[in-house]
Structure 1
């Protein structure tokens, strides 16, 4: 009986645990932080709360380049009008993510999929993986960042149900 109560509590805790959406790009400096900011703002506007949104890179770029930081923040502000999270961003590698079965992994560049899977050796088979092909704006000026930001917003909006219901 005691074991059953403990088991029920564990299942209940699992059900209440936030699901995570993990955006992944190459360096975790451009696309994945912009995607994180965009999804956070969309979820906030829709009143959806039980998701943690994070971002990672397969080859994170340290330290975060000031010019890149300014370009990505400007692109998001121009598109959405505000930033709620991105100023706190620090690039990190996908190995730090430790994906769980309920997580949704959104890969922003199909060319990194094999590297990603290699780094996540022993990945949970039940992990949901979505692959977008968003152009990489890294060090290509404001127009490239704005274009990538628009592509991200469109891809996230078009796939929102898949992202949050996988």
Structure 2
């Protein structure tokens, strides 16, 4: 089983959106018995809360379930549990890498690293920008690229 963790700051906007979108893509590919997804935030402000209303709205509009998603904080014990730890931006990537130190772990990177010729490297935080549509497009592109990379790396064809 391949375990993927999406990480943002508060785990109510970007990372739960990525988790839900990625799970839907995995399901459509018939790989839900080979790939799992989760999400977490580097901050602790929203622990236990459902995704942000803007995330809920765009996922609902897109026919993607967010049932059961609740914010949690990224912890050091997550490092060995996940094969892919995918951060939404450089700040959270730095936080995760600092926590990882020199420990052996799976791939740690940014979501938009999986988008060829991406115009931006960081998924902006819609908690501050309010632009959930832009974030959904970026997350969808990144998740598509990530899934293709995982399928290739793990020979899941």
Q: Does 1:110 align with 2:90?
A: yes
Question: What are the equivalent positions in structure 2 for 1:49-68 lying under 5 Å apart?
Answer: 49=32, 50-63=34-47
Change (3 A) 1:123 1:164: farther
Change (3 A) 1:34 1:53: same
Q: Offset of 1:164 from its aligned partner?
A: 4.6
Q: Does 1:41 align with 2:14?
A: no
Q: Offset of 1:33 from its aligned partner?
A: 0.1
Aligned residue number for residue 10 of structure 1: none
Distance 1:115 1:140 in 2: 22
Aligned residue number for residue 100 of structure 2: 120
Q: Does 1:155 align with 2:134?
A: no
Q: TM-score, normalised by structure 2?
A: 0.78
| Unaligned ranges ≥5, structure 2 | 113-121
Distance 2:150 2:77 in 1: 17
| Unaligned ranges ≥5, structure 1 | 1-17
Aligned residue number for residue 129 of structure 1: 108
Distance 1:33 1:97 in 2: 19
Aligned residues: 142
Distance 2:145 2:87 in 1: 15
Q: Considering only CA atoms, is the larger Rg found in Structure 1 or Structure 2?
A: 1
